[in-house]
Structure 1
């Protein structure tokens, strides 16, 4: 026997929780929100309320960014009359504190759903048709939910490059849950914001860090002067940057002993003996085992769910928001899309989420913030000449 709902949401990340609780609390609708069991490292069977941002993204990453910045503070303090003794890093304690905070927030998200009147169901949700969702719980039992509307908000997950020995590498999920701090060198693959941020984290914690990326400068899509400055800052802080290089293979020689091979733009190969190779080479939409193909939901070539401006799929009654749609993969955007969906589907207030001029930040050291058009975008999209002004300031300390 199936239960009847106004909305069933698959995915309890930022967007899914916002849409679910707004619909239940503000419009008095019967809502269920389905999410996989909690875990620090995501998989086809592990998730958790709060999603990527809370469990294995923004929150834990920023805690590590903050922790890695103290090395500079200790060094600066000497010039202001403080003693020169560095207290040293207790990595295990840092990870324990990080994990405790993540678990607290995971529980808080469950309470937020309950407080709004949303039924929080732990398990895997799968579409049977446009108005039917089958839930499989951890013990293998199944139940069927009927709903007027179904919202897919399953987010995305990190991917590894297809190179020999990729199984010996880790992703950002694993990096945020390392039990031991690597004693040997660390190699980070990628030039995006995740790669740049983790290069700063590990370097700040005292590890000899290598950053390997294919472009001449990191952070493709950002303003070129900002990219140049970030690369300069990384090098000044002691990160070994390897621009215009491609990964070739990873060989395991022993526990915590890897040999990483890379190739530069001229085809010359070199190796790095390291403890860890971290892939920060992109993310993919989480669409596996959702039944989307069986229902006929259209997807883009990269697997993202195709939606219109109101987050509707091509199948009436099925909607999608957040990273699984691969529009702008940021937490505030998912929140905005969740709110807009709820107003459109249940509030008799059709609302289009505004994806124009979305601000973003890179938690590099120092951090980078941007909003609006880059110089390159302005030249490409605006008619007539543009004026560009640049100012650089050095900190007082």
Structure 2
């Protein structure tokens, strides 16, 4: 009886602790929001989710909605079917009024992961069209246990992994997907210098299952719970001109969880697998993301049509599927990637196509063994923008030539 009582007390304390931590993370500066009184935290009955988020989204505030409004919204969500699962728990489709949302449910035992992901999503200026949109978070009592909810935008196409399993893509869609992923990663990697600037982030678990396909077939990066932050702070001496210049240097900290070997083993960079990644350098974590980006691009290339009329594509595969089991061990991955230095092979049909051949070379530059030789996400983004412009110009020229041909053929019948 005593042990049961102690267990109940312990669970209650855990819930209270979670609420306290949650409140700390969401202690919003009232001067930065339009929230003036408790009555303002009620959500108008006729307001859509898009309108609500647009109203509260600004470039200077981290979360889109005030804390109590997030809790109100979360508790009005009706859960529907499970649409995903992972080490943290499950993801459900949910409905709030007329809008669908995705609800990531963590168990109470995984509270630290939940808090960490909320913290990452609270990063100032994180909101971006190619980063999964955060909506709300809440603790929910489910009779005998506590659920920890994280509510985000819902994308019915699912992940890139899900989409490629059942769909093929054209070259314009390939470039659109590649560019949107690079844009999202570039936004994570780049700090924004301003009074309320954004810190730089590295994802650390980039893979096709953690990238979602939007309705227009562009992509957005999700699952930021393992991300690492580069936190820059300017010393107080900046305000004291009497101090020497050497004291005015910017101080850089890396906010990282204890274990550096996190993420999905199949997508781990060589330096992560062999233990040579420099944890004191934020550039090292960015370079590891770039390696994984190369593997993601290879998966997209396999499902891209060389000739749209023939649907000549390769079957979907994850990287190294032809030589490794479905759940490779850390040692197996290290042997393949570091010792044998194997990378996913290009399809022969890519080499014969001028655009796809370029992307084969791009992948090779992304997953090269030396992290310092990999392209930056900004460089990748620029290259893909150029490719997109070339294709758009070519299509425009083709349309113009077709129109001229039609005009010439009309000949005597033109006015």
What's the TM-score, normalizing by structure 2?
0.23
Point out the structure with the larger strand share: 1
Query: Over alpha carbons, which structure has the higher Rg?
Result: 2
| Higher relative contact order structure (alpha carbons within 8 Å, sequence separation ≥ 6) | 1
TM-score w.r.t. the length of structure 1 is 0.24
